Amino acid sequence: MIEIAIIGYGYWGPNLVRNFVATKGCNVHTVVDFRQERLDNIKRNHPTVNTTKSTDEVFKNSKIDAIVIATPVFTHFELAQKALKNNKHILLEKPITNSITKAKILIELANKQQKVLMVDHTFLYTGVVQKMKKMIDSGEIGKVQYFDSTRINLGLFQSDVNVLWDLAPHDISILNFLKNEKPHSIQATGISHTNNKIENIAYLTVNYTSDFIAHFNCSWSSPVKIRMLLVGGDKKMIVFNDLEPTEKIKVYDTGYSHTTDEEKNKILVDYRVGDIYIPKVENTEALAGMANDFISAILQQTTPISNYNSGLEVIRILEAAQQSIKSNGKEIIL
Amino acid sequence: MIEIAIIGYGYWGPNLVRNFVATKGCNVHTVVDFRQERLDNIKRNHPTVNTTKSTDEVFKNSKIDAIVIATPVFTHFELAQKALKNNKHILLEKPITNSITKAKILIELANKQQKVLMVDHTFLYTGVVQKMKKMIDSGEIGKVQYFDSTRINLGLFQSDVNVLWDLAPHDISILNFLKNEKPHSIQATGISHTNNKIENIAYLTVNYTSDFIAHFNCSWSSPVKIRMLLVGGDKKMIVFNDLEPTEKIKVYDTGYSHTTDEEKNKILVDYRVGDIYIPKVENTEALAGMANDFISAILQQTTPISNYNSGLEVIRILEAAQQSIKSNGKEIIL
Amino acid sequence: MIEIAIIGYGYWGPNLVRNFVATKGCNVHTVVDFRQERLDNIKRNHPTVNTTKSTDEVFKNSKIDAIVIATPVFTHFELAQKALKNNKHILLEKPITNSITKAKILIELANKQQKVLMVDHTFLYTGVVQKMKKMIDSGEIGKVQYFDSTRINLGLFQSDVNVLWDLAPHDISILNFLKNEKPHSIQATGISHTNNKIENIAYLTVNYTSDFIAHFNCSWSSPVKIRMLLVGGDKKMIVFNDLEPTEKIKVYDTGYSHTTDEEKNKILVDYRVGDIYIPKVENTEALAGMANDFISAILQQTTPISNYNSGLEVIRILEAAQQSIKSNGKEIIL
Amino acid sequence: MIEIAIIGYGYWGPNLVRNFVATKGCNVHTVVDFRQERLDNIKRNHPTVNTTKSTDEVFKNSKIDAIVIATPVFTHFELAQKALKNNKHILLEKPITNSITKAKILIELANKQQKVLMVDHTFLYTGVVQKMKKMIDSGEIGKVQYFDSTRINLGLFQSDVNVLWDLAPHDISILNFLKNEKPHSIQATGISHTNNKIENIAYLTVNYTSDFIAHFNCSWSSPVKIRMLLVGGDKKMIVFNDLEPTEKIKVYDTGYSHTTDEEKNKILVDYRVGDIYIPKVENTEALAGMANDFISAILQQTTPISNYNSGLEVIRILEAAQQSIKSNGKEIIL
């Protein structure tokens, strides 16, 4: 039985507790938060779980095997480092850390300590993303040609990270999961409407050496909420609208191919518009799969889907994006 | 009575003929097209209109006062130049030409010849854009902070211009019409999925010295059709969905403002979410207003809404965008 | 070559002329309308078509083989009767007449004169209805269990017929086309908000001896426009949303079946929710198919899809519905 | 402090417990359910609440002041009667009972015992319904002319009541709350696709002596979920779409009025299509307002919004509807 402590009982904490409580092979031992009212809340809902305001208490407790860190990103590195040094397995909320350097130190340390270091990119465990992965891997979609993500709403302005660090990890982790190609470079632009110069609107293009392209539109300042992802292949295209309660993905049997007319020196493009298909997708809670993957990784030494490399590749793009925005959109080679 | 000739009777030609036939103060004298079946079509539908395959015939005809050019963009310059030299007023379909240099030569020539030179950015004459202009000018929207356009569908791949030249003129002309600020620089990225290296997907950011930003997402390769424009002010925000048959614009009484908490060195952002309002917008045909504006400009020496400066500023951005794409997304100062 | 005259050049007339002009085997000889401006309109758009204000002129003209009647329904009987007596084939706009008695007289006369008598239920020629027919006939949908139609908008109040006579013929003709079962009885309720007691809102249930049911919701007084039809089978269900520009029908691989638990004396219902499928449907103009069917019926003595029996069965339900409304919703056995 | 017991901890029970726990002036003393696993669930989530399988235990407990009954409708009468006889205030889940006779006995008993008898028509406490009520009462909507409700989805077939008893109480309670006019008669039709003859699809018209009409379309057999209510006035019309996450009501400044043209003996209808307005509506939980109203009714002898008359009028229509369906849609005078 893996004994777990969870640090941070804010917006996401209750979901983590609920799912780990229901996961086989583990027990939620302690929840840490520095706010008394959050600890009271835990006690009301989960009377058997211990509570404390001290992170050291869980680091030092030898009964605790694994620690889930659900605190603001700027605290991830220090907490995870201490936990690893105290021989704990680690699950970090996304993004893994706020810099590649720090992420690499953690990864090295985890390897040295022979502990699991995992990051929670929950979307990778959704039925929708799993279904898209299968369709792409089976060749049904054909050669994947573009990835176009829009994730905008009237959102909480964060005070430590910009809108890309806040919203794009979801879609970047999906991109990297679906597309087996190393990005070549990125460009990003954005704007801040506050004095702290933290962008609340930003646009990111990820370039590849092939003719694949990915683009992300992120905003905390839109009056409408949009969560839409287009994945275009040369055989079929997928539209993932996460706001649809049940019909989340539509698969378009649509495509185009081109031939060169040698005589006229012209490109001829053939269009094909066919049926549309809305596959039924499992709506089991993604977080349950993530929790299970973490415990399996500990117990059976498997590599989790949302592993530290996945976490590292996401912030590699985010860090470059920030650098690009601050250099007026300069192309950053990855 | 202004006598008009229309060169080019393709996709847009019938709409032009129909609207100029209905415009007071002018007469459609001749339509030019090099395809016999198009001329037959004209004869069937408008028996009193002359037809010819010769552009020279209309240039040389001293009875013809004005020429409407609705041919592919690469032919605009030569046709318009000849027409101006023959003392004709000119209306060009968007975009005005395929280069700034050529546009400037035409503008200079038009001024010298004291002829009207106008470009047809039809959207500027829609009830929706007129309504947005009024809301912005009256201060109802507050300080305009961003402009975000998505214009994607499974579209005809053009063989002479990329997707930005094809689709973005609509939204760029709207942007310039609504926002009284000169853009500072642009960045663009894109990809071609054909051998001719003409981009079928492209993204464009327009930067300003203020904290305003504009972004355009254009694609011929999307399985879904989207025509959406967000205009965000610090008092209200507008969503323009051109695919809605009647409820095209929604005005959100929504905004955010920030204050600086000196003690905690933090930005505090105040959100406000209020009512939404869908104003009734005149649905008179925009092209009728455009045709009327052209005739008024000739008869009464007024400056049309969609004048040559409007046309020039649109291609200034497009030309820079193309340069940026070809330089791996380099920032181009305008 | 069948020579055609069209009586009535109102809202639908131009569509009829345009389609018959394009139909092989026939020629549009004359259009009749009593309004000079409508005849001028015809002359402008179709200079070779004759125009007249006299219906007798076309009845008496022995060169004319067939007459299309697109006038208000209360004039159908008299015009069609005269035309048949003058040995003309007849196409009537829906509904066939405003009473069963009159329809039967016309049918008898057409048979006696050996002329085609057809009614234009255009929807039967749409790709969508043809597709639904195929799915039902092939057994893909299973046993069809219900039909639920909503056709509401802010519509023109008619002064001679109520909202059911105006809007329901479309859906009733579809119902009869799809479902091979004779209706047993109907009930209808409705309300008039004008002094003339003509209902602007009405509801109609059609009952069958089997466990199939059909329901129609029609209104001229809705602020929103809805054109939706549900067809439920025990294997699959179809949703037809006519306002969708391209994705008009969705096929749900969804159903339920029940078993009886003898011990507990309970009904157990099994649900099945599966994939959704949006078939690509031909979007050729339905009216072209209708026009072609009429000409084929004349030339090759075929029975048209939208034949007089189809027209008669539609008004059998409408007449009973009116009787039911006027009797406070009494069940009317058909 | 009002001590409360809740009988029935099924689908709705947890919501009731959560809201009464948060309501001032009361304490959740005991929850009754005959299923051990439901009692275990209560214990986990609310350790301080007593649990029992015995209803008598709470009836006999003199510390308990009020009982909330959230059990299947066929059990309502017996439980409520016992509770009232034991001097408890009563809150019943909708519908109040399965017959008018039983409801009247309970009402009489409540009055005799001087206890509160209330039914939970939760919708009456939503911000949306409260907003609609204000708009109607203020005259903004004008004379209310129709009410059209569609509540369909692929729903759980109930084994004791038909689809109207299951789904229509929501909309009927809203209708009665909004419209101050006594219904005159009803007609209902429906169909059962199971052997138990319980209708899974049903249609209900409610008639009034004025020219107002109400219609309800209820189904457990629709592949799509629709929760839509139209309320039409002669000044404005309201569309309430309960599936919209935030923009639940749209107010259309749309209407029509008619005049009689004496000479031509014709009705002339004037249409007006204006702006649309989406008011911001409080999204506080309706159930909290309901719970508070119940406690206020006990403590301050106020009449709750969702009082026993409201409950009685709802089942008056339901009982008549059932009678109508079983008599082939006969009009039932209320």
Chain B nearest-CA distance from D35, in A, is 44
Close Cβ partners of C108 (under 8 Å, ≥ 6 residues apart): none
Give the type of residue at B84. L
Q: Say yes or no to pLDDT of D319 above 80.
A: yes
Residue A186's pLDDT is 96
Which is nearest to D13 in space by CA: D227, D116, D37, A284?
Answer: D37
Q: What is the mean pLDDT of residues B11-25?
A: 92
pLDDT in tens, A308-328: 999 999 999 999 999 999 999
DSSP label at D307?
B
Asked if C144 and C252 count as a contact pair (C-beta separation under 8 A), the reply is no
Residue B90 DSSP symbol: E
Q: How confident is the model at residue A273 (pLDDT cuts 50, 70, 90)?
A: confident
pLDDT band (50, 70, 90) for residue A148:
very high
The string of pLDDT tens digits covering residues B80-108 is 999 999 999 999 999 999 999 999 999 99
Q: Choosing among B191, B209, B230, B278, which should be mutated to test the A contact, i.e. which has the most A CBs within 10 A?
A: B191
Mutation for testing the B interface, residue in D276, D281, D282 having most B CBs under 10 Å: D276
More confident residue, B8 or C258: B8
Q: Name the nearest CA neighbour of C179 among C334, C287, C310.
A: C310
pLDDT band at residue B195 under the 50/70/90 scheme? confident
C-alpha to C-alpha distance for D321 and A159, rounded to whole angstroms: 59
- Tokens 């299973």 correspond to what residue? C142
CB contact under 8 A, B260 and A195: yes
For C25-157, strand residue ranges (E) read 26-32, 50-52, 66-69, 89-93, 117-120, 144-154
Burial of residue A1, with CB atoms counted within 10 A of its CB: 0-12 exposed, 13-18 middle, 19 or more buried? exposed
Specify the pLDDT at position C268.
Answer: 67
CA distances from residue D183 to B173, C49, C326, D211, D214 in whole angstroms, order as listed: 57, 58, 19, 11, 9
Instruction: Give backbone dihedrals phi and psi of C283, rounded to 5 degrees, phi first.
Output: -110, 35
* Residue B263 pLDDT grade (very low, low, confident, very high; cuts 50, 70, 90): low
Q: How confident is the model at residue A270 (pLDDT cuts 50, 70, 90)?
A: confident
Measured between beta carbons, the chain D residues lying within 8 angstroms of B274 are 280
Encoding tokens for residue A217? 């539109």
Which pLDDT band holds residue C260 (cuts at 50, 70, 90)? Answer: low
pLDDT tens-digit readout, A190-219: 999 988 889 999 999 999 999 999 999 999
Beta carbons of D117 and D93 less than 8 angstroms apart: no
Q: Are strands B144-154 and B66-69 parallel, antiparallel or unpaired?
A: unpaired
Question: Could you tell me which chain B residue has the CA closest to the CA of D252?
Answer: B278
What band does C263 get if pLDDT is binned at 50, 70 and 90? low
pLDDT computed for residue A82 by the predictor: 97
pLDDT > 90? residue A256: no
Beta pairing class for B221-233 and D221-233:
unpaired
The CA distance from D147 to D132, in Å, is 12
Residue D309 predicted with pLDDT over 80: yes
Name which of D35, A108, A146 is nearest B193 in CA terms: A146
Radius of gyration of chain B measured on its C-alpha atoms: 21
The Cα of C175 is separated from the nearest Cα of chain A by a number of Å equal to 25
% chain D with pLDDT above 90: 83
| Count of helix runs (H) and strand runs (E) in chain D | 9, 15
| H or E segment and range at residue B330 | none
Band (A263; pLDDT cuts 50, 70, 90): low
Name subunits touching D (3+ CB pairs < 8 A): A, B, C
Q: D255: which 2 tokens? A: 């209407």
Rg of chain C over CA atoms, in angstroms?
A: 21
* pLDDT at residue number A272: 74
**Residues constituting chain C:** 334
CB-nearest partner of B267 from A159, A221, A224? A159
Contacts of B224 in chain A (CB under 8 A): 230, 239, 252
Q: What is the ipTM of this complex?
A: 0.93
Beta strand B266-278 with B249-261 is antiparallel
Distance of CA C334 to the CA centre of its chain: 19
* CB atoms B47 and C47 under 8 Å: yes
SS (H, E, C) A227-278: EEEEEEECCCEEEEECCCCCCCEEEEEEEEEEEEECCCCEEEEEEEEEEEEE
C279: preceding bond cis by omega (within 30 degrees): no
DSSP state at residue D327: T
Residues whose CB is less than 8 angstroms from the CB of residue A57 and which lie 6 or more positions away in sequence, other chains included? A30, A32
Q: Closest partner residue to D194 among C194, C212, C267, by Cβ?
A: C267
Return the bridge partners of B214, or none. Answer: B147, B206
H/E run at residue B284 = none
Tens digit of pLDDT for each residue in A62-96?
999 999 999 999 999 999 999 999 999 999 999 99
Nearest to A32, CA basis, from A23, A22, A19, A16: A16
CB atoms within 10 A of CB D284: 11
Kind plus residue range of the DSSP H or E element containing A331:
none
pLDDT at residue number C172: 97
Q: What pLDDT does B265 receive? A: 56
Sheet harboring D50-52: ordered strands across? D50-52, D26-32, D2-7, D66-69, D89-93, D117-120
DSSP state of A33: -
Region C72-95: what's the mean pLDDT?
A: 96
Condensed to tens digits (0 to 9), the pLDDT of residues D190-238 reads 999 988 889 999 999 999 999 999 999 999 999 999 999 999 999 999 9
Record: contact B230-A237, CB cut-off 8 A: no
Q: Which residue has the tokens 């291609």?
A: B315
Q: Which residues of C316-329 are buried (b: 16+ CB within 10 A; e: fewer)?
A: bbbbbbbebbeeeb
Q: Averaged over C97-125, what is the pLDDT?
A: 97
Q: Look at residue D265 and tell me whether its pLDDT is greater than 60.
A: no
Query: What distance in Å separates the CA atoms of residue C247 and residue D295, rounded to the nearest whole number?
Result: 51
Rounded-to-10 torsion of CA B258, B261, B266, B268: -30
Least confident of B258-267, D32-41, D141-150: B258-267
- Global confidence as pTM: 0.91
Closest CA to A240 of A93, A317, A96, A136: A136
Asked whether D44 and D55 are in contact (CB, 8 A), the reply is: no
Return the half-sphere exposure (C-beta side, CA atoms, 13 A cut-off) of residue B26.
31
Residue C44 pLDDT level (bands cut at 50, 70, 90): confident
CA distance B59 to B56: 5
Total CB pairs under 8 A between chain A and B: 152
CB contact under 8 A, C45 and B47: no
Mean of pLDDT values over C307-316: 96
D240: left (phi over 0), alpha (psi -120 to 50) or beta: beta
Per residue in D94-114, pLDDT (tens digit) is 999 999 999 999 999 999 999
Q: Do A45 and D47 touch (CB under 8 A)?
A: no
C328·D329 Cβ contact <8 A: no
**Structure confidence at residue D47 (pLDDT):** 78
CA D168 to mean position of chain CA atoms: 8
Count contacts between B and C (CB, < 8 Å): 7
Distance CA(B116)–CA(B290), nearest Å, equals 14
Nearest to C199 by CA among C170, C227, C165: C165
pLDDT band at A267 (very low <50, low <70, confident <90, very high): low
Residue A305 has pLDDT above 80, yes or no: yes
CB contact under 8 A, A45 and D45: yes
Residue B118: the pLDDT is 97
In this prediction, residue A211 carries a pLDDT of: 94
pLDDT for B185: 97
Among A45, A226, A242, A247, most D C-beta atoms within 10 A, so best to mutate, is: A45
- List residues of C whose CB lies inside 8 A of any B CB: 44-47, 245
3-state class (DSSP) for residue A182? coil
Contact A275 C279 (CB under 8 A): yes
Say what the pLDDT of residue C122 is. Answer: 96
Q: Indicate the average pLDDT of chain A.
A: 93
- d(CA C63, CA C1) in angstroms, rounded, equals 10
Among D122, D145, D314, smallest CA distance to D233 is for D145
Tokens of C58: 């076309």
Mean predicted lDDT score pLDDT of chain B: 93
C177 contact partners, CB below 8 Å, separation of at least 6: C121, C124, C129, C133, C305, C310
Span B24-35, average pLDDT: 95
How many residue pairs from chains A and C have C-beta atoms closer than 8 A? 28
What is the 8-class DSSP label of residue D114? Answer: T
Q: How far apart are the first and last CA of chain D?
A: 41
- On chain B, the residues whose CB falls within 8 A of the CB of C245 are 243
DSSP B295: H
**Residue found under tokens 């700027």:** A74
Which residues from B are below 8 Å from D248, CB to CB? none
Reported as half-sphere exposure (CB side, CA atoms, 13 A), residue B34 has a value of 4
Tell me whether residue D101 is exposed, middle or buried, using C-beta atoms within 10 angstroms of its C-beta: 0 to 12, 13 to 18, 19 or more: exposed
